[in-house]
């Protein structure tokens, strides 16, 4: 679901699941939601900023397997004329592992999308 909520604001929600077939995936389900804001709200009219949270329900039930994962993400996207856009992204990822240390990490990245 994506829904505009007014001038320069939108919310989104996504959900998905697995059918429990043999797979390399470590999650049974994904739930995410977020907020998108257009830059004219803070004097940068072409900028788009998103903030999102995701919860991934783990498929593991054995020692050392993932019980669930939480992800917090924010990114900013800026258009490059007519041929694409560039974005900067920050993610915090935290796994809860059955009977083990719970790893956390930060991911910082950039993307270049070209339209042709």
| Inside any domain, residue 112 | no
Range of the domain at 13: 2-20+27-38+51-100
Note the pLDDT of residue 51.
95
- pLDDT for res 108: 97
* Residue 57: inside a domain: yes
Nearest to 36 by CA among 4, 68, 83: 4
Average pLDDT for residues 16-44, to the nearest whole number? 78
Residue 108 lies in a domain: no
* pTM confidence score: 0.77
- CB of 35 within 8 A of CB of 11? yes
The pLDDT of residue 9: 84
Q: What would the two tokens of residue 36 be?
A: 């998108």
| Bridge partners of residue 36, in order along the sequence | 10, 50
Tens digit of pLDDT for each residue in 63-102? 677 888 999 999 999 998 888 999 999 999 998 888 778 8
d(CA 86, CA 100): 38
Identify whether the C-beta of residue 67 lies closer than 8 Å to the C-beta of residue 60.
yes
Q: Band the pLDDT of 23: cuts 50, 70, 90.
A: low
Q: Is residue 89 part of a domain?
A: yes
Q: For residues 62 and 8, what is the distance between their CA atoms, to the nearest angstrom?
A: 45
Question: How many distinct structural domains can be found in the chain?
Answer: 1
């Amino acid at each position: 679901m994506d829904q505009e909520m007014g001038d320069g604001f939108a919310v989104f929600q996504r959900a998905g699941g697995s059918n429990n077939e043999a797979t390399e995936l470590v999650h049974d389900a994904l739930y995410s939601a977020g907020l998108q804001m257009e830059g004219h709200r803070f004097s940068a009219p072409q900028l788009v900023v998103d903030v999102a949270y995701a919860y991934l329900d783990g498929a593991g039930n054995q020692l050392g397997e993932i019980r669930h994962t939480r992800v917090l993400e924010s990114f900013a996207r800026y258009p490059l004329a007519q041929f694409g856009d560039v974005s900067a992204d920050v993610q915090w990822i935290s796994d809860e592992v059955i009977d083990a240390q719970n790893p956390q990490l930060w991911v910082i990245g950039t993307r270049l999308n070209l339209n042709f």
